[in-house]
């Protein structure tokens, strides 16, 4: 679940569900009237849906993912929402049923990627305010995360991750651009887990 900058003018909110890699199917259950839903391949297979939303730099966007395991059907329904008003209202992106995957949400992580070859422009963002609610309606704050990022094209490519504090104990991550760009300048490339 996340946001994308697809071209000079196109921006999206995207929700993806992967199949199990062993022939299972991911079926669309419901989608936002403005969402485009389709299968995908290339880096695994599954289904995703996206809505065009012209998010702007420094805008805060919240994401919510709900998992509902259905043991009798041998799978799970995963539903993705986004909010642009600090979580006061939520917009559905889509809901998918993942066959042969009766699993709850697990292994949350953050990522920042650039699949193009244009690496002179910086990409940076803040991540935070994580919580998870269990089936008994208990909510827990998540206090550590894993980062993944696009594979560097060369060892000198720049990226940085750091805990910056604030009310949500935000984490900053950046890739690409020059060393002089960005809110926090990268002295060196850090490890991939921040706790």
pLDDT tens per residue, range 75-106 = 999 999 999 999 999 999 999 999 999 999 98
pTM of the model as a whole: 0.84
Of residues 180 and 37, more confidence is placed in 37
pLDDT at 194 over 60: no
pLDDT at 177 over 80: no
Residue 121 is predicted with a pLDDT of: 75
Of residues 191 and 150, more confidence is placed in 150
Alpha-carbon distances, residue 21 vs 33, 37, 99, 195 (angstroms): 29, 20, 11, 30
């Amino acid at each position: 679940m996340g946001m994308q900058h697809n071209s000079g003018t196109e921006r999206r909110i995207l929700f993806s569900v992967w199949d199990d890699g062993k022939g299972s199917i991911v079926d669309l259950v419901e989608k936002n009237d403005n969402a485009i839903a389709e299968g995908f391949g290339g880096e695994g297979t599954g289904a995703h849906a996206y809505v065009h939303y012209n998010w702007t730099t420094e805008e805060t966007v919240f994401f919510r993912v709900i998992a509902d395991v259905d043991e009798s059907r041998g799978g799970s329904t995963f539903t993705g929402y986004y909010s642009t008003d600090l979580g006061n209202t939520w917009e559905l992106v889509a809901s998918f049923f993942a066959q042969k995957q009766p699993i709850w949400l697990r292994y949350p992580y953050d990522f920042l990627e650039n699949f193009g070859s244009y690496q002179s422009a910086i990409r940076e963002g803040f991540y935070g305010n994580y919580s998870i609610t269990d089936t008994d309606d208990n909510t827990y704050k998540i206090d550590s995360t894993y980062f993944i990022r696009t594979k560097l094209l060369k060892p000198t490519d720049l990226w940085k991750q750091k805990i910056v504090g604030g009310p949500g104990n935000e984490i900053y991550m950046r890739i690409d651009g020059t060393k002089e760009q960005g809110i926090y300048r990268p002295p060196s490339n850090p490890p991939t887990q921040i706790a």
